[in-house]
């Protein structure tokens, strides 16, 4: 599912990340790998799922009184609208007939990604219907994944350090550009500082690949302080660009 900083258009609903981006995701080796929209609806184990990458909650946080992420999620359920701030403060596609952001029926499971921490709540309605809502923390910051039992609807959060999940980005992303980007993200997650040479190589190739026109600021122009492998401080643009 694409997010705010992924290589696809930013209009909601976001379209799937092109399959060719994941050159290492061989269909025979990774038969269950697929790229999807944001938001995304699907059925699994007899349950109806709805999920987003979290922009709906993040935008609501800017415009409403302070509340927990679960309260915001419950509010969107009550509105029957996954992205209530589209198109006012979040850009979205115009629809003349059916709006895919409207919830026509209550899902069994509703999740939102890219949040600060894992939270869950089982909402029970007067008519007997139930909906499990939970937030998924940002993996690049927490190394946590959310696990859901389809039979009991119980959820728990596990860290990859505990051996539950072993994520190897390079197994999926093997193109020359994205593999460098993956290495950069791994280094940042380990708390390492990137040298200017590594940073320039990665960032320039990623920007070139995306077709962006970007000129690095004066700190990475040819000078003694940045050519001897000394640590480089990311600009705000670059920091935002590499967030996942």
| Tens of pLDDT, residues 72-118 | 999 999 999 999 999 999 999 988 888 999 999 999 999 999 999 99
Is pLDDT at 154 greater than 70 in this prediction?
A: yes
**Which pLDDT value is given to residue 65?**
82
In tens, the pLDDT along 22-49 reads 877 766 777 788 899 999 999 999 999 9
- Say what the pLDDT of residue 205 is: 59
- Domains for the chain: give ranges and CATH numbers: 19-162 (3.60.21.50), 169-242 (no CATH)
Share of the chain above pLDDT 90, in %: 41
Average pLDDT across the chain, whole number: 77
- pLDDT digits 0-9 by tens, 187-197: 666 666 666 56
pLDDT of amino acid 106: 95
What are the two backbone dihedrals, phi and then psi, of residue 216, each rounded to the nearest 5 degrees? -60, 150
Q: For the whole model, what pTM was predicted? A: 0.66
Residue by residue, DSSP assigns the chain as ---TTSSS--SBSBPPPPGGG-TT--TTT-TT-----BSEEEEETTEEEEEE-SHHHHHHHHHS----HHHHHHHHHHHTBS-TTTTTTS-B---SS--TTB-SS--SEEEEEEESS-EEEEEE-TTS-EEEEEEEE-HHHH-EEEEE-TTT--EEEEEGGGTS----HHHH--SHHHHHHHHHHHHHHTTPPPBHHHHHHHHHHHHHHHT------GGGSS-HHHHSS-B-PPPHHHHHHH--
According to the model, what pLDDT value does residue 174 have? Answer: 40
At 9 the pLDDT is 87
Please report the pLDDT score of residue 222 as a whole number. 34
């Amino acid at each position: 599912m694409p997010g705010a900083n992924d290589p696809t258009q930013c209009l909601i609903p976001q379209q799937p990340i092109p399959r060719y981006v994941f050159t290492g995701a061989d269909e025979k080796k990774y038969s269950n790998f697929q790229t999807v929209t944001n938001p995304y609806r699907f059925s699994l184990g007899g349950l109806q799922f709805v999920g987003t990458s979290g922009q709906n909650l993040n935008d609501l946080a800017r415009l409403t009184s302070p509340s927990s992420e679960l309260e915001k999620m419950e509010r969107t359920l009550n509105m029957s609208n996954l992205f209530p701030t589209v198109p006012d403060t979040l850009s979205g596609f115009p629809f003349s007939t059916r709006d895919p952001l409207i919830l026509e029926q209550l899902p069994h499971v509703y999740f939102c990604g890219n949040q600060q921490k894992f939270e869950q709540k089982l909402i029970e309605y007067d008519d007997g219907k139930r909906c499990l809502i939970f937030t998924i923390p940002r993996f690049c910051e927490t190394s946590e994944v959310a696990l859901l039992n389809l039979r009991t609807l119980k959820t728990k959060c596990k860290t990859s350090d505990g051996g539950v999940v072993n994520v190897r980005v390079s197994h999926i992303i093997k193109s020359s550009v994205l593999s460098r980007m993956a290495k950069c993200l791994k280094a940042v997650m380990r708390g390492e500082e990137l040298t200017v040479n590594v940073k320039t190589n990665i960032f320039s190739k990623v920007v070139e690949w995306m077709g962006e026109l970007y000129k690095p600021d004066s700190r990475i122009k040819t000078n003694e302080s940045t050519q001897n492998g000394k640590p480089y401080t990311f600009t705000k643009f670059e920091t935002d660009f590499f967030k996942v």
